[in-house]
Structure 1
Amino acid sequence: MDEHSEEFRMNLKFYREQKGWSQAELAIQANSSNGQIGNIEAGKAFPSFELILRIADAFSIHPADLFLRDSSKFQDRKLYSKYHELLLNCEHLPECHKQIVNQLVKSLAESASNTKYKTSH
């Protein structure tokens, strides 16, 4: 399994758990089957483009968020929650502005994470 597939799997599970959903609940929300979601999370299957879009829609995130390397690795869950709250509040913005906000918040989170790591180790 390549790095991107692994990141997708981890992010899928991460976002599902953030919602407090079982695989069955995600399957319902994304108009899929429980087995298909389980196989994707286990690395036994790959989602179609259409399913990726439905999953992202179910999570109320941009599909690209499922491929971001740091989505499932946020150290500070409160920061993560605030990040997504901010992005949801930006839904009315044009896509180019949403991308700017996303990059800014990611940079700030990475900076905070790097600072925390350097000072605690």
Structure 2
Amino acid sequence: MTSGLPLIAKQMKRLELSSIWALLAAFEEPLPFSGSTEVPFEGAFVRGVDSVSWMANNTKKLLISQSGGPHCWTFLSTAAYGKQNKVPQVGGGNFKIMYQELGLQVLDWF
């Protein structure tokens, strides 16, 4: 019997790190989905949007009642969007403006 370490080491050499954006957004009203009053999923991979790869309905996922409170979502960008919009990791950049712009882009998806 041999160790799996050589295989893991080989796979690690092929890994490519990517920067991505993560956005947590809270909405006063549920997001509209094809005329439905309730979002039919907790999380989903996104197709057809160049900047978003994943979205999750945190309110539904945590089984929190959706009446009377914010509707919280998490959005993850694609690696391509992260690469195009990469910011310095230490200092610099106006993060407030960047997050506001990203938030406005999210609203355009719906």
**Which range, TM-score by smaller chain?**
under 0.3
TM-score normalised by length of structure 1: 0.26
Q: Between the two structures, name the one with larger relative contact order (CA 8 Å, sep ≥ 6).
A: 2
TM-score normalised by length of structure 2: 0.28
